[in-house]
Structure 1
């Protein structure tokens, strides 16, 4: 699908977005972004400008049509939010087939063309190139090329590879019309119980900074333009030090603490990402407790409401003038089915939705994540609690990004190109190699046990949590350890399942220790054959109980069964190094300051990773 284009008397092709049969300055592709924004902004109604300030979830119809009814998570029909509420920023969830995704995106843009000034839609996404499926944070790759989680990219210590990943992801996103990434995550993985670490680049502020800047440049390129995906870097001013490791999505995890006085470490990645040109920044939900910045006590309200942090620190001291978008649902409670998740109004729970919205704007944010309550903001303006000049300030920033991305000149995509681009063989091959290479060898032979890596093929293999097809590449799969030459077991890092609140079941929280029953069962395997264990380190698991049992112990961060076997056999050498310390015990974790990178005496330290030399 392509829009109807016109040609001006001067011979310039343009899109007649407001349908007046002439090329207005905002439609003129020859003018600068600043000139086009300056022309368009005064033309917009208050309702159109307010609509720009909301960024909510949208769902696609399975056949590539727009969904004209509320979805599983989306709250409204597409035409309602686009034509009546004038929203133009949407966070998309499930996208399975490339052609369907492209067809849906074009249908969505066609709806947007019916608005008074044809403002194109910006479609955003959480990360969708790795393995973790969590509707509150990320999606599994499916049609896209599949890579390790960000922790795995950090384990490779290769900024050039990270930029290559960003460039490949950029091409795949653009092919289906996704032009905004709600990532990278700059949070430091200093609190091992925290559920969001898999999306970070680890505990070290210097490594996080290097990887995040490379990631941003891959997505946005050297400057934000028509081929870019605009990045939202998060979570300002660093969302890692959650009290007791509980996540701030939930009321019990609202507090962010700094017992080690390491606020500066968590802030460190943001000035370089601002200098690199990040299109947007997102504050975290967390409510700082007993925090001082430059000797000034910081108000104990969530960062999205915090004027000292957003206006004072981010815009003032750091000089950031780009878009600030809040994390999701700070204004209203979220109703999903029969579940109600309270608004993440940490520290301002006593305010009504209008009061929360007013405070967010006063703090310095431009856009409300996960909300579509435009009537509330219009009412605040109507009663003089928010000025139209303040609305214009945010609208100007948001329009600037759309113009820089080239959306006003051509927001449409080609279905055939999408089908050819997503999951292209060279993209998949690069992701597969990164999966295998990021595997971190923690132990290979110990206490009288001879090294077994690289694994020899042609053995009888007892396997758990591995596909039979993959095990066949190693040799004959047997059903009992007693009949095996080698045992291979994949384990997820431990967590405490929780199911009471919406999203809770997707977040891995709580204890990092393996239960005694699992350890006892592994001991029975070891009585019959050498044991190789891979632990998927979405959090820094306590592996102390596994060391006496395993001949080889490795960690992975998003690696398929096939890529793991290639790493273990040395077909692709595993060169990953730990992006964080692994603690010795839960007692050590509980004693550890949530904001402090690393331990004095870890079981395995940051940067640990044995080199396995492939056999010739």
Structure 2
């Protein structure tokens, strides 16, 4: 059923016609069954010969008793992860996707092609795709342009396999690192999250927006009760808007994001998937969002199986689509019951038509009707450019937290290096949870043999004879299938809560050998951290939350034993959240936080440790002093520490912190425009940054503001501008900042963003704690200003010389 421009063909099949006309023509031709078919996905194991099979899971897509041919004869909105559902050669996967597409285009009455979506947070989550670092690494670069290139590369790979929608990025603002999905976030500051998200979205979607980015999880998923997955959220409307909704607003308005995914939890008792105020009034009406709202996997089903707000699948579907949902993912358990809901009067056909209209518009806009098939010979997943880019992000994101001079490792004389620890030679320890090899653990498969580990990379750079290795301990002795605790696996009967096998190793028998290796070395490098894994198949990741910031298992005992030898000890921490070192922070010679640096992380870390590259990452989230200090974030309100100040409150390594192999000095603050009108003013100031060290380095300049007097309690400081600059030894650069007055806004009792006149503290520094320049900014006006919809959301920082 090829598309034509000939007037003899229906309007919707004429490529030159306006999208609205094509949508209206096609919608008018559709039966109710064909409409409903566009509002859900199907999770299949596709086959190039057309013999597709169900992918069924108790937690996701159960057998509904509907034969596959019967389900597909009316068409289909989306197919779920065609190449990521199981291990398949990418070219064969594309052929299988083409087979399904051919069935939709050539064998259904109207020939509506199907959209394909894949996970793509850290690269496409399919076999052979580039394994990029985690979102925490993205944010730790403080380099939005670099992350824009990552999004662009992932988008290019997505197009090559026929993927039309990527389920990324995650815009949840991290406020409690015990939450397992902290690794998926861009950190704890809403402005940094928003800036990074906009760059990623623009890169992924491209100018044509022919691959849709999906903003998730809308909204405040990271603020869950006790940092537990799916748990309720307790935040007021001001905090909800100022902290958690800001990045979504930025990505919708500035990056034109094509899709949004609601979150699993409820806010004040209202599940996000039924929250019309959020999905329709705020997202569509207030912000002008014009894309697709797609369900998180099984979330519609959970409305009646978990939340208890719907009586059955039909009611759950009606509530979600009435709230503003467009597509149920990953399957069809509830959407198939929309006819029943329609007969009951729980939903109108006009509401169904509105959702179908948005789905069809998206399919026309991305060019799917004109180009439904993909060339298997043009699959492009592991180019040199992609691997180099992953390497660059890994290098720029590692954060040096402490260094007494032991780093970089001496290059002018031979040193004996003891490499120790459970993550030193484990390729999976370099990967975030939404990478394909980590997801394979659930099914018992492993595929990470091509990744160079830190041990291998150090041996390559320093020589086999210079490096001795002792594992010391394990985090998990064996990664295996059957470990996850999926939603619904645990019954309400509390006797079941401790039924899971404990995966974390408690064996200490290897620690003595590790200590002896350290004792005989010039420097010991201890690699520790955690292992990403879904639903407690690991120690961090989705559904793998924690109640402590102590290192999992016996890793602290390993560090204690190595430090006790007196050999200078470097601790390299990888993983999805920051951990404490049990009081050894002041005794180790150096400490590095590398997060999950991806498949090139081992090589990047070896280059940084040996001085072949320079550390330049900065923390995108604070490292609380203990779990008892949680929640701790840099932009807290003054009374957050209690009265008197709680001794455990605070962070040894604050937001924005990171050392380099050189030093920088700030000077020459010049206030060009420090008093501006409240209506449309822009603050403008300049200052200098000098490299006073002996080697080239990157400084991350950070600009913070504090509202001295406001109608509501305000944070002690908030990030308002940032810039990453490379400065040669003894050189000095000048930076000029333009900061719109709009960015000094906060939310009032009406839910509107306002700016009040008054004085603000300006703080310029190298971290949220290390402030080097101070001044006062003044907003001139006689009345509070309510911001318009398209308010100025970003500042501008430029190097002027």
Q: Give the structure-2-normalised TM-score.
A: 0.64
Cα deviation, residue 355, structure 1: 2.0
Gaps of 5+ in 2: 426-454, 470-516, 642-648, 663-693, 697-801
CA distance in 2, matches of 1:428, 1:495: 21
Aligned counterpart for 1:127 among listed residues 109, 120, 126: 120
- In 1, Cα distance between equivalents of 2:49 and 2:129: 17
Q: Map of 1:264-303 to 2, 5 A cutoff? A: 264-275=242-253, 276-289=255-268, 300-303=269-272
Contact 1:330–1:345 (8 Å) recurs in 2: no
Return 5+ residue gaps in structure 1 as ranges: 11-21, 131-137, 290-299, 334-341
* 1:254-296 Cα deviation digits (max 9, x unpaired): x11227962221111122222232111111112113xxxxxxx
- After TM superposition, give the deviation of residue 108 of structure 1 in Å: 2.0
Partner of 2:109: 116
8 Å contact kept, 1:285–1:344: no
Deviations 1:194-220 (A, max 9, x none): 111212111111111111111111111
Give distance in 1, aligned partners of 2:363 and 2:636: 36
Q: Secondary structure at the match of 2:164?
A: strand
Q: What's the CA shift for 1:385?
A: 2.5
Contact 1:190/1:594 (CA < 8 Å) preserved in 2? Answer: no
Equivalent residue in structure 2 for 1:262, among 225, 235, 239: 239
Distance 1:408 1:417 in 2: 20
Are positions 1:357 and 2:350 aligned together?
A: no
1:116, distance to aligned residue in structure 2 (A): 1.3
1:222-233 superposed matches below 5 A: 222-224=207-209, 228-233=210-215
Q: Which has the larger radius of gyration?
A: 2
Query: Aligned ranges for residues 401-480 of structure 1 at < 5 Å?
Result: 401-418=362-379, 421-445=380-404, 450-454=405-409, 456=411, 458-463=414-419, 464=421, 465-467=423-425, 468-473=455-460, 474-475=462-463, 476=465, 477-479=467-469, 480=517
The 1:455–1:422 alpha-carbon spacing in structure 2 relative to 1, beyond 3 Å, is farther
- Number of residues of Structure 1 aligned to a counterpart in Structure 2: 559
Task: Provide the rounded CA distance (Å) in 2 between the counterparts of 1:516 and 1:354.
Answer: 45
TM-aligned CA deviation for residue 518 of structure 1: 2.8
Alpha-carbon distance between aligned partners in 2 of 1:120 and 1:612, rounded to the nearest angstrom: 54
Q: 1:301 to 1:106 in 2, by over 3 A?
A: same
CA drift at 1:436: 1.8
- Supply the distance in 1 between the matched residues of 2:185 and 2:146 (Cα, whole angstroms): 16
CA contact (8 A) 1:59 1:71 kept: no
Deviates more, 1:563-572 or 1:149-158: 563-572
| Matching residue within 112, 133, 145 for 1:148 | 133
SS at match of 2:656: coil
| Larger strand fraction of residues | 2
Shift of 1:233: 1.0
1:602-613, aligned counterparts within 5 Å?
Answer: 602-613=651-662
Contact 1:380 1:386 in 2 (8 A): yes
Q: Secondary structure at the match of 1:603?
A: strand
| Cα-to-partner distance string for 1:138-190 (whole Å, 9 max, x where unaligned) | 94x75222321111111111111111111111000010011101111111011
Which secondary structure state, in structure 2, belongs to the residue aligned with residue 538 of structure 1? coil
8 Å CA contact retained: 2:135, 2:183: yes
Structure 2 residue 534 is the aligned partner of structure 1 residue 574: no
Does structure 2 retain, via aligned residues, the 8 Å contact 1:257–1:595? no
Contact 1:497 / 1:508 at 8 angstroms: preserved in 2?
no
Q: Which residue of 2 aligns with 1:562?
A: 603
Partners of 2:535 and 2:156 lie apart in 1 by 37
Q: CA 1:499–1:433 in 2, change beyond 3 Å: closer, same or farther?
A: closer
The 1-side partners of 2:136 and 2:216 are apart by: 15
2-structure distance, mates of 1:201, 1:547: 25
Higher relative contact order (CA 8 A, sep 6+): 1
Q: Deviations over 1:501-543 (max 9, x none)?
A: 9x99862433221268432322222205222221124123234
The alignment status of 1:215 with 2:204, answered yes or no, reads no
Using the alignment, how far apart are the partners of 2:61 and 2:51 within structure 1? 12
- Pairing of 1:155-174 with structure 2 (within 5 A): 155-174=140-159
